[in-house]
Structure 1
């Protein structure tokens, strides 16, 4: 599946989404993964990927805050770049919030399963 830019905005070019190499069928559940967050044969584990995504989100929010501050102080004159930084930060936060909500929903479903 190919993901192209929408209205000239590409999440890959903006650094919001980092493309990963396609995994082989069954590789995600194989014994090579190891513990959460550990570096397996297929790359970083789930915990490491989540931590990296949170770090990227924090960096995007810091960049948006700094660019807005620079615009307010007159150091930055390009309003479009400031707004793009704000939108990247907002989209990243919304995505993280939705992932959290889905994870909590899945946890609740598992906890409510009859044994």
Structure 2
């Protein structure tokens, strides 16, 4: 037979859940946060797009002669943007799902 221990009040249960959640989330204080990681990823994609634009302009002006390098740089930039867009769409979808959950 399973014993169920009753908790004094719902607020103490809420406090215990919050404590366990904060303990599980604070595994390493030196690790970068999710927000900083996402920000760094967006900056990397923006940098790749800027590099792609610069090298494309250089090719059009005749300063760059390696067409393969230009095409690969454009593809890297395009893939980074598409990946960022897909992550954004998934996050928005998850947000909408959470907001539509019954409480």
Normalising by the smaller structure, the TM-score range is 0.7 to 0.9
- Structure 1 CA distance for aligned equivalents of residues 101 and 50 of structure 2: 41
* Richer in helix (by share): 2
Residues 32-80 of structure 1: per-residue CA shift (max 9 Å, x gap):
26xxxxxx53510100000000100000000000000000000000000
- Structure 2 CA distance for aligned equivalents of residues 99 and 42 of structure 1: 25
Q: CA deviation at 1:81?
A: 0.3
Q: Once superposed, which parts of structure 1, at least 4 consecutive aligned residues long, lie more than 6 Å away?
A: none
- Structure 1 CA distance for aligned equivalents of residues 41 and 71 of structure 2: 22
Aligned to 1:101: 89
- Structure 1 CA distance for aligned equivalents of residues 65 and 80 of structure 2: 24
| Cα pair 1:64 1:89 within 8 Å, conserved | yes
Aligned to 1:57: 45
- Structure 2 CA distance for aligned equivalents of residues 56 and 31 of structure 1: 26
- Structure 2 CA distance for aligned equivalents of residues 104 and 73 of structure 1: 41
Which runs of 5 or more residues in structure 1 are unaligned? Answer: 1-28, 34-39
Which runs of 5 or more residues in structure 2 are unaligned? Answer: 1-22
Larger Rg: 2
Q: TM-score, normalized by length of structure 2?
A: 0.74
Q: TM-score, normalized by length of structure 1?
A: 0.67
1:30 counterpart (24, 29, 33): 24
2:50 is the counterpart of 1:83: no
